[in-house]
């Protein structure tokens, strides 16, 4: 679930709180979370955190002496900063970075799946990381000017915009909000976009992600809450009235996510086939 705005506010908060902090030790209780072994985690001891930033949906923690921690939260991870250390019974911890003043930076993950991951890399290895190397241009703060060229493919917008190799940062929640803001059908193909559509889409990406971040700046505080208060207007709101026109928000259910849209404004009144529903009716 954490997408560009959630990762960005996490990076901002952690950067402000941790810049200059000295690491005492680090350990990875989540046996599968640490994806690298050289340099070892013990190399972090005694080093300083120089900054925390974001690339796409990933967090990048810069460490003195040319090291960098790359974190992918996947669908249920959080990177949180606590004043006290975790007890031994905290089963959500995947990585613990202890600061010498008693604070603890903690990668936690909720649910049963262990998917969130961490890599400890040398700074010069960062750009070669398989994930970062294939990342498309950032969706925010300035999506590419020529969005029509970027999206020129016979794939639905709902898929294209979530493809991190095409454009980085957007996922299942914000894609619904962006397409609704742009009044574009989630199934419109990338290569069917007019110049006008592309301009509306670009404006919608900026406005939607800006709006989310403005909201988070007001409400998100350290340690970074387990549940982030996503200011969503259509996503996960099937059956409710569209906040703009009052039509009923419709949904298409996929195996592990839901796509929501306003039929009156996005699909010319057409209600898209819900595969789950049609399967149930068979």
Number of neighbouring beta carbons within 10 Å of residue 264: 18
Regarding 234 and contact with Zn ion (CB under 5 A), the answer is no
- DSSP 8-state assignment for residue 43: G
Regarding 248 and contact with Zn ion (CB under 5 A), the answer is no
**Can you tell me which of 182, 262, 267, 274 binds Zn ion, judged by CB under 5 A?**
262
DSSP 3-state of 150: helix
- DSSP 8-state assignment for residue 192: G
Q: CB-wise, 245 or 271, nearer to Zn ion?
A: 245
- Contact region with Zn ion (CB under 5 A), list: 49-57, 87-95, 218-226, 257-265: 257-265
Regarding 265 and contact with Zn ion (CB under 5 A), the answer is yes
Which of 164, 146, 151, 224 is CA-nearest to residue 193?
151
Terminal alpha carbon distance of the chain:
32
Regarding 179 and contact with Zn ion (CB under 5 A), the answer is no
Q: CB-wise, 54 or 237, nearer to Zn ion?
A: 237
Residues 58-77 that bind Zn ion (CB under 5 A): none
- Nearest distance from residue 251's CB to Zn ion, in Å? 14
- Nearest distance from residue 242's CB to Zn ion, in Å? 3
For residues 24 and 239, give the distance between their C-alpha atoms in angstroms, rounded to a whole number. Answer: 51
Strand pairing category for 77-82 and 258-261: unpaired
- Contact region with Zn ion (CB under 5 A), list: 39-47, 89-97, 226-234, 236-244: 236-244
Regarding 242 and contact with Zn ion (CB under 5 A), the answer is yes
Regarding 271 and contact with Zn ion (CB under 5 A), the answer is no
Regarding 182 and contact with Zn ion (CB under 5 A), the answer is no
- Contact region with Zn ion (CB under 5 A), list: 12-20, 120-128, 163-171, 240-248: 240-248
Q: CB-wise, 153 or 245, nearer to Zn ion?
A: 245
Give the count of residues interacting with Zn ion (CB under 5 A): 7
User: Do 160 and 166 touch, CB atoms closer than 8 A?
Assistant: yes
Regarding 238 and contact with Zn ion (CB under 5 A), the answer is no
Tokens of 141: 């703060």
User: Do 79 and 10 touch, CB atoms closer than 8 A?
Assistant: yes
- Nearest distance from residue 265's CB to Zn ion, in Å? 4
Give the nearest residue (CB) to Zn ion.
Answer: 242
For residues 269 and 263, give the distance between their C-alpha atoms in angstroms, rounded to a whole number. Answer: 5
- Nearest distance from residue 48's CB to Zn ion, in Å? 50
Cis peptide bond upstream of 223, omega within 30: yes
Adjacent-strand bridge partners of 248: 241
Q: Which bin fits 269, alpha (ψ -120 to 50), beta or left (φ > 0)?
A: left
Regarding 16 and contact with Zn ion (CB under 5 A), the answer is no
**Can you tell me which of 16, 245, 271, 277 binds Zn ion, judged by CB under 5 A?**
245
Backbone φ and ψ for 29, nearest 5 degrees, come out as -65, -25
Contact residues toward Zn ion (CB under 5 A) are 242, 244-245, 247, 262, 264-265
């Amino acid at each position: 679930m954490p997408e560009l705005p959630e990762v960005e506010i996490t990076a901002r908060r952690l950067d402000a709180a941790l810049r200059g902090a000295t690491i005492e030790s680090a350990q990875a209780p989540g046996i599968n979370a640490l994806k690298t072994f050289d340099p070892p985690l013990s190399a972090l001891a005694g080093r300083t955190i120089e900054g925390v930033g974001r690339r796409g949906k990933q967090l990048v923690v810069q460490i003195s002496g040319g090291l960098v921690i790359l974190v992918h939260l996947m669908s249920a991870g959080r990177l949180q900063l606590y004043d006290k250390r975790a007890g031994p019974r905290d089963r959500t911890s995947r990585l613990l970075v202890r600061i010498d003043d008693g604070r603890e930076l903690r990668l936690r993950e909720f649910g049963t799946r262990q998917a969130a991951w961490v890599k400890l890399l040398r700074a010069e290895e960062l750009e070669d990381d398989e994930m970062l190397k294939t990342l498309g241009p950032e969706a925010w703060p300035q999506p590419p000017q020529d969005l029509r060229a970027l999206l020129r493919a016979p794939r639905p917008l709902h898929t294209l915009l979530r493809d991190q190799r095409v454009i980085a940062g957007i996922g299942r929640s914000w894609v619904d909000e962006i397409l609704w803001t742009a009044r574009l059908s989630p199934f419109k193909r990338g290569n069917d976009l007019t110049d006008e559509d592309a301009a509306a889409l670009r404006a919608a990406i900026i406005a939607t992600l800006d709006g989310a971040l403005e909201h988070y700046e007001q409400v998100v505080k350290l340690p970074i809450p387990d549940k982030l208060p996503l200011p969503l207007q259509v996503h996960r709101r099937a059956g409710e009235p569209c906040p703009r026109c009052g039509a009923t928000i419709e949904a298409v259910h996929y195996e592990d996510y839901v796509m929501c849209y306003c039929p009156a404004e996005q699909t010319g009144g057409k209600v898209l086939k819900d595969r789950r529903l049609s399967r149930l009716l068979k």
